[in-house]
Structure 1
Amino acid sequence: MSTPDRPFASYHLWSLVAPARGQERWHCQMRRGFIKARQHEPQVKALLGQATAPQRIGILAQKGVYEFHHHRHLLHQSDGVEQVAQLLKLSKSTEQVQQRVLQILQKYHDDPLLLDKNIVQLTPGDEGFPKPILVEQEDYCFRLYAAMDCVFIESDRTLHILDFKTGKSAFDQRQALVYLLAARYLYPGRKAVASFYNLELCKKSDLISINNGELESLKFELANIAHKHQHDLQKYQEKTSNFSKIFPPNPGNHCRFCPFQSICDFSHQPTQSYPMPSLRTNV
């Protein structure tokens, strides 16, 4: 197998390497192994291609917001929700997905968060990987990927990065921090804040900002994650039979929610403790 390219970091990778606060007991490094090291294997690729109902709802909700603002007149029409639902081909989704997405579209139509905002960027949510940002310091270098849902300019010229959510999961501030780091490169010299908005619950997060000291610490943290992950991939490519040692499992009741349960050798084993690799591995 070929040697991996220059190391990369993203919020998604960060979440796979290290759990969100309070989620430690459910975090499994083997999931990262399936997603990032074995993603081209036919069985794994097939499982990765199957979007769950919550994923479908999130994708369609984001695309719905995009369509409302791409066709702004629909925000003012009584049948705007029905027209956006047709644009989304919502009738092809399951009943559960249809009902929840329709509720989200109706709530947004009734109270459109981005109405009259100076929108710089609004993505449909299915645009694929963004162009990487090269983060380069004297002692490290990595590619940063940050796919932002929405960027708009506040009345005081502050850049506001907004990430849309659905479901009941708590907001993970690390995602906002990655966006704020990306904004320093994409919009140099601009003051920026970030926030989350749950389209289903109509719930806003507090505004999140970052100072220069925190920014440098964040870059160092992401560099460590990028290099650790690259090191793990190299070790796996050298000896694929060490998969469970490089990406140790953490089996338990939470396995029933894992997309790889059907092909994981550890998913049906009783809960037991496995050492979690340090984020500070030197590579």
Structure 2
Amino acid sequence: MSTPDRLFVSYHLWSLVAPGIGQERWHCQMRRGFIKARQHEPQVKALLTQATAPQRIGILAQKGVYEFHHNRHLLTRTDGVEQVAQLLKLSNSSVQVQQRVLRILQKYYDAPLLLGKRILQLTRGDEGFPKPILIERENDRFRLYAAMDCIFIDADDQHTLHILDFKTGKSAFDRRQALVYLLAAHYLYPDRKAVASFYNLELCQKSELISLKNRELESLKSELINIAKKHQADVQQYQEEARGFNEIFPPNPGYHCRFCPFQSICNFSAPPSQGQSLPIIKTNNSSR
């Protein structure tokens, strides 16, 4: 049986191990190496604490939704957006961040998605690691980390939990994240049916509803166990042979290096080129 205090998995880890559909050309295993194997090194640790503009926008947007519902009267006040901006201390951010977050707050104020819902959980987005869920399958067990933005119940369906993940930017929804949340809900709320979806606060776009059958849950657990084992093996190999870092976590240099937080310390980082663009990808630093 695998050691539960070492074997863990999350959507964040899954996305670092394997690229999402359409992200293959930009996926770099070395990024996983910095984040998960070298995160305690001073230079790496310092870079991990520096949020990029897209990351700050995602965090502040999530906090904004939280503040609107924590202080529900702000959804009816004419200065509600300004009040939430003050609660977020938005003036401390760059002009780019301020402008985009203000537009997000205004859009949510005009059409508050969660208004009238029975909200069971709504996070600020900066709570840190959630409590792990211990999952067993045959001779394996692992800790599952699932930081869910929101869980609510619709008035017209009292028996179904709806797990909602907020997004910003232009990145595509990754169905794998919803699958991880549905597996977590299966253990946290065993007597409830659950569905999951995404909502882009910036584009006001909803995804389709995603659900899982019991046999699909078992298949998902197998997939996550494989991810957890691969990562554990890679980290252990690196700890035993640190000089093989770039072989254990091979780089994938390209234009996307300019968006990588480790560009300044990576020996394989490609110089930026002109005339290319990449989608903005929201990263949740609290994900394990």
Which of 172, 175, 178 is the equivalent residue of 2:174? 172
SS of match in other structure, 2:165: strand
Report which structure shows greater RCO (CA 8 Å, sep ≥6). 2
Please say which of residues 98-107 and 151-160 is displaced more in the overlay: 151-160
8 Å CA contact retained: 2:5, 2:143: no
- Would the aligned equivalents of 2:119 and 2:150 in 1 still touch at CA under 8 Å? yes
SS in 1 for 2:191: coil
Say if 2:258 is the partner of 1:256: yes
Residues 16-54 of structure 1 show CA distances to partners (whole Å, capped at 9, x for unaligned) of 000001111111100000000001111111111110000
Q: Which residue of 2 aligns with 1:118?
A: 118
Question: Identity of counterpart residues, as a percentage?
Answer: 81
Look up the match of 2:218.
216
How far apart in 2 are the matches of 1:268 and 1:110? 43
TM-score by length of 2: 0.91
Query: Contact (CA 8 Å) 1:63, 1:88: kept in 2 or not?
Result: yes
Question: Where does 1:196-207 land on structure 2 (aligned, <5 Å)?
Answer: 196-207=198-209
Supply the RMSD in Å over aligned alpha carbons: 1.4
Counterpart for residue 277 of structure 1: none
User: Which among 236, 246, 249 is matched to residue 248 of structure 2?
Assistant: 246
Q: Which residue of 1 aligns with 2:138?
A: 138
Deviations 1:227-264 (A, max 9, x none): 11111111111111111111111112221211111111
- Which SS does the other structure have where 2:265 is aligned? coil
**Matched-pair contact (CA < 8 Å) for 1:132–1:144:** yes
One-letter amino acid matched to 1:176: A
Deviation at 1:194, TM superposition (A): 0.2
Question: 1:85-104 to 2 correspondence within 5 Å?
Answer: 85-104=85-104
Matches within 5 A, 1:217-232: 217-232=219-234
CA distance in 1, matches of 2:131, 2:52: 26
Corresponding position of 1:281: none
Deviation at 1:202, TM superposition (A): 0.5
- Amino acid aligned to 1:251: P
Q: List, as ranges, runs of 4+ consecutive aligned residues in structure 1 with deviation greater than 6 Å.
A: none
**Contact 1:159–1:191 (8 Å) recurs in 2:** yes
The alpha-carbon deviation at position 5 of structure 1 amounts to 3.6
Distance across 1 between alignment mates of 2:148 and 2:271: 38
Match of 2:190 in 1: 188
Q: 1: CA distance between counterparts of 2:133 and 2:270?
A: 40
Gap runs ≥5 in structure 2: 273-288
Alignment match, 2:82 = 82
The corresponding residue for 1:160 is: 162
TM-score by length of 1: 0.92
- How many residue pairs get matched? 268
Matching residue's letter, 2:135:
V
Where 1:105 maps in the other structure, the secondary structure is helix
CA distance in 1, matches of 2:270, 2:104: 36
* Aligned mates of 1:129, 1:52 — CA distance in 2: 20
Q: Which amino acid aligns with 1:174?
A: R
